[in-house]
Structure 1
Amino acid sequence: MQANASPPTSPRRPPKRRALKRTLLFIIILVLVATLGYAGYVLYKINAAIDRAGSSGAVSAGRQVDRNPVTVLLLGTDTRPQNPSLNTDVIMIASFNPDRQSATVVSVPRDTLIKVSGYSQLKANAYYAAFHHANKATADKKTKELFGKYLNVPIDYVARLDFNGFERIVDNLGGLKLEVDMNMCYTDKADGTSIRLTEGTHLLNGSQTLDFVRYRKGNCQNAADSNDIKRNERQQQVIDQMIGKLKSVEGVLKLGSVIEAAGDSVDTDMPASEIKSFIRTYMAADRDKINYVHLEGEWQSPYIIVRPDELKRAQTALREQLK
């Protein structure tokens, strides 16, 4: 009787194939470890930058930015080495609503004549410098109080950014694609200003973007003149483009370097813990839910006189976010 045949055996995998799979697995593990390590490093840099920019301490539950509306005064200070001024050539008041994920941003022209009971009548951009020279320790508080009374809204925090810091932030974003509305050409040898921009859509670096938002008048052939109203519109275009860039895949990858640049250039009285909470709360907010308000007025040298109905419209728009 014939013996039963032995069951077939599975062919062994070639040693080279097993070695290749082990190598690929090892590489995948290394990539994951490196990615997690880099993410941890970026997170560390972000936290360190926020800690540098923000104040210490905490706030009560009734003031936490992820649960309650908040109003922030944003100031851009002209503190270039050639012109160490404390004038705030960018003035924005922004109210945020965490439940609706919405915001209103009001730009105040730098030459606006401010009339508030109990304060001297000055141009809008002169108050922070005046308060700072009088008493540096109370300058932020007094500036918030002044613009809070002017716009009839309680201002919780102030954030100040100098021009050099603004340039670094834009450069770390990879520049901004902006619609230059006119030929811009202006030279001032005294403070080193040299603006050269042509009308059209361009990718601008940090220095060019600063020129774009600062431009008011030309002193070259074929250069157009602008005004504070146009400047405010450009500033708001830049803010909108910066938000859009940060929300893109490219921007998310650059978030660490952007916040690091901001941490070295931004001073704010918002606690560091609240800055982190603010970023988590509004990072995913829809750009369409940001309402930009332009204050209109008439030029009566050396001031812009804002019409009462325009001021009322801005006040109402800010307060709507606080409901």
Structure 2
Amino acid sequence: MARKVDRGQKRLLVKFIKVFSMTFLLLLLVAGLATGAYVLLAKNSLFESWRNKAEDRKAEEAAREALMGKPNTTLAIFGVDKDGFRTDVAMVAVFNHRTADVDIVSIPRDTQIRIPDDIYEEITSRRKGVSQNVKINEVPAYVKSEDRNKVSVKVMEETFGVEIDHYVNMDLDGFKYMVDMIGGVPMEVPMDMKYSDPEQDLEIDLKAGQQTLSGSQAEQLVRFRKGYADGDIGRISVQHTFMKAFMAQLLKVDNRLNIMNIGASALLYVDTDFSNALDYTMFIDQITPEKIHMHMLPGEVNDRNRAYYTYDYEETKLLFEQILSGTVREGEEGEGTEDGEGQSVEPAKIINPKDLAISVQNGTRISGFAAKTKDRLAQAGYTVLEAVNYENKPVQTTRLKVPTQEVGEALAREFNNPKIEVDESLLDQELEIIIILGESDGNQ
């Protein structure tokens, strides 16, 4: 039994690591091209006639006045999986109109959030069994395809307390191609990186030292996790270094001249409502790699028995306030900065009941009811390790013995008004949820 749990936990952790590292993959690909590459297009000779017309100069002046009337532009940046159902990349980019600084807050796709009530009501009106406490990347899978970007933006706004002006959604399949389009990315690989995982179709084989990374090699770099003395912090630091190197390469003269082709390639993978991007031509001469600032969403990774990221609400609120006010670089930077160090408040942990080991115990007189319930829960995605008889029969009302109230509330949707019993010590046990079936469910 224990071996089954270990394998299940390993699969969860492997899945987390695979996509968590991709959270940082498209920073400059999207932010650089969505907020920068479109702007650079206006520098191309094909646009000179447009810029020289008197009426267009007036339009440009009007756009300048409109943009300078607000301090920042905020973008939600998403990268989706091949099916478009899950968000593999989520970040918020803030462009400061006064300083031309770009602050990017990377949001791990396994960040636990609570779906806003109105969105949750709409979801559950069409789909049953969805928990209100989910990982942020799950949200698009629960809404209509045409509403995914809009709903994802609203979830980010209400969760992190930041108003978002536009969204950019990019297919992750474009990453390697785009790196190759700009001639690769020169960077020093900090160590030998070798790893193989056929299940992920992943082969990593990089040598330490300065080199120009192709698209395939760049993917290997950002997905590698073994060997860092400080774990995820070291890995994220390398990913941030890569992003800055990407921007430096993008802004080289040769790539500026080729930006029409690069931008056209990006459009194959981008879905955005950033329709006025060309108005940002006024900032192009101010944009430099040094003005790109990376931040991690304040919080912590919790991977004991499961893998998820719990954000720190107060520290997150403070980080965005500092970014939007332009004070984030005054004095010491905190939890959400490039080095990832600083103080944080211990956040409340949100646990997905589908990640926990469950025992189903039959407290009714119905033969085989525990096995039937086990199969039903397994089909719904739960990890049920056993179906046995409960000693003290009969039980009138189904009892859910769970480690947290949130887990109980999420699981309660599977039963008929069950009784929730919270026992925090269950998290230290082999069986983390115990369901004692009662006549209240057996009579249905």
Match of 2:175 among 144, 166, 190: 166
Residue 215 (structure 1) shift = 3.0
Q: Look up the equivalent residue of 2:96 and give its one-letter code.
A: N
**Residue 77 of structure 2 corresponds to residue 78 of structure 1:** no
- The amino acid that maps onto 1:259 is G
1:159, distance to aligned residue in structure 2 (A): 0.9
Shift of 1:225: 8.6
| Alignment-derived partner of residue 324 in structure 2 | 319
Distance 1:88 1:279 in 2: 30
Cα distance between partner residues in 2 of 1:209 and 1:171: 10
Q: Find the residue that maps to 1:142 and give its secondary structure.
A: helix
Partner amino acid for 2:105?
V
Shift of 1:85: 5.9
* Alpha-carbon displacement from aligned partner over 1:60-111 (angstroms, at most 9, x marks no partner): 97996575321101122232xxxx4643222210111223222211111222
Query: Aligned match of 2:253 in 249, 254, 273?
Result: 249
2:138 corresponds in structure 1 to: 126
* Cα distance change, pair 261–304 in 1 and its aligned pair in 2 (3 A): same
Is the 1:43–1:256 Cα contact (8 Å) retained in structure 2?
no
In the alignment, is the contact (CA less than 8 A) between 2:228 and 2:235 conserved in 1? no
CA separation of 1:121 and 1:189: change in aligned 2, threshold 3 A = same
Normalized against structure 2, the TM-score is what? 0.50
Moved more, 96-105 or 302-311: 302-311
Partner Cα distance (2:230, 2:170) in 1: 24
Higher relative contact order (CA 8 A, sep 6+): 1
Deviation at 1:227, TM superposition (A): 5.8
The structure-2 alpha-carbon separation of the partners of 1:228 and 1:269, relative to structure 1 and needing over 3 Å to count, comes to farther
> Aligned-pair RMSD on alpha carbons?
3.3
Select the structure of larger CA radius of gyration.
Answer: 1
Identity of aligned residues (%): 27
Q: Deviations over 1:187-245 (max 9, x none)?
A: 332342222223333211112112222334x5xxxx66986555544443333222212
Q: Which residue of 2 aligns with 1:5?
A: none
What residue is the counterpart of 1:262 in the other structure? Answer: 266
- Does 1:209 find its partner at 2:218? yes
Residue 242 of structure 2 is matched in structure 1 by 238
Q: Distance in 2 between matches of 1:295 and 1:269?
A: 24
Partner of 2:209: 200
Task: State whether residues 92 and 105 of structure 2, in contact with CA within 8 Å, keep that contact through their aligned partners in structure 1.
Answer: yes
Question: What does residue range 81-92 of structure 1 map to in structure 2 within 5 Å?
Answer: 84=83, 86-92=85-91
Q: How does 1:139-154 map to 2 (within 5 A)?
A: 139-154=148-163
The alpha-carbon deviation at position 164 of structure 1 amounts to: 2.2
**Normalising to structure 1: TM-score of the pair?**
0.67
C-alpha contact 1:157 1:268 (8 A) present in aligned 2: yes
Task: Tell me, yes or no, if structure 1 residue 135 matches structure 2 residue 144.
Answer: yes
Distance 2:94 2:65 in 1: 14
How far apart, CA to CA, are the structure 2 residues paired with 1:283 and 1:121?
44
Amino acid at match of 1:121: N
Helix, strand or coil at the partner of 2:173: helix
Q: Which amino acid aligns with 2:287?
A: A
Q: Give the letter aligned to residue 269 of structure 1.
A: D
> Map of 1:175-190 to 2, 5 A cutoff?
175-190=184-199
Please state how far the C-alpha of 1:154 moved relative to its aligned partner: 0.7
Q: Which sections of structure 1, spanning at least 5 residues, go unmatched?
A: 1-38, 46-59
Q: Which amino acid aligns with 2:260?
A: G
The residue that corresponds to 1:93 in the other structure is 92
What amino acid maps onto 2:138 in structure 1? A
Task: Return the alpha-carbon distance in structure 2 between the equivalents of residues 227 and 138 of structure 1.
Answer: 37
Whether 1:292 and 2:294 are equivalent positions in the alignment is yes
- Mapped to 1, the partners of 2:170 and 2:191 lie a distance apart of 26
**Structure 1 residues 110 and 276 mapped into 2: Cα distance closer, same or farther (>3 Å)?**
same
Paired residues in the alignment total 255
Distance, in Å, in 2 between the alignment partners of 1:173 and 1:205 is 10
- Tell me the SS of whatever aligns to 1:190: helix
The gaps in structure 2 that reach 5 residues or longer are 1-40, 48-61, 121-131, 328-444
CA distance in 2, matches of 1:184, 1:244: 24
